[in-house]
Structure 1
């Protein structure tokens, strides 16, 4: 995964008012995709985003190992103001570490194809 910062932390000048309202309301879920399997130690999840689809702001509580099953281009807005462009490649894995203050963000598919990511969430 290649991450390109489009907007720095702390800068909300170019943000859409609807996204700012969503942050202000603070109704953040901890769902990061459909659960395929879960127990006390891990959850196996899947995110499928068609072009222009978006997951609302959500909280990452656990570290995750992610595998992309498609190429894709995603936009992620963080509640700290940072906006990032994420370029994912088919059959590539990446690791997401949570526990930081900046783990509430959305995810929007801005590519022309459906994006599929499978996630192993480690609950230790």
Structure 2
């Protein structure tokens, strides 16, 4: 039952500006906030200008340009052209979106207990 709490039906917010709460806070749900931009530099700046950084999405014709932009984005995951889920990739956020990673070999480290032992043989 979704009649209480902060639930939103699948929604697209167009013409979002950076002074809107939806542009600066994490929203969990089927929500898309569209922020217009004039240059790729401005788009990257807008994407990074938040205290959160869980995931980002890029829709592009040129995959190489999209990958170059993705490398500049400060989010734990960047999805390009809606790929399928890949369990071989780590998942986790940057900044206030959390530390640590799940999935892949990176996620296994949270379940390990590592011990350091140092010492020398006793002098005779």
TM-score range, shorter chain: under 0.3
- TM-score normalized by the length of structure 2: 0.27
Highest CA radius of gyration, 1 or 2?
Answer: 2
- TM-score normalized by the length of structure 1: 0.27
Higher relative contact order (CA 8 A, sep 6+): 1
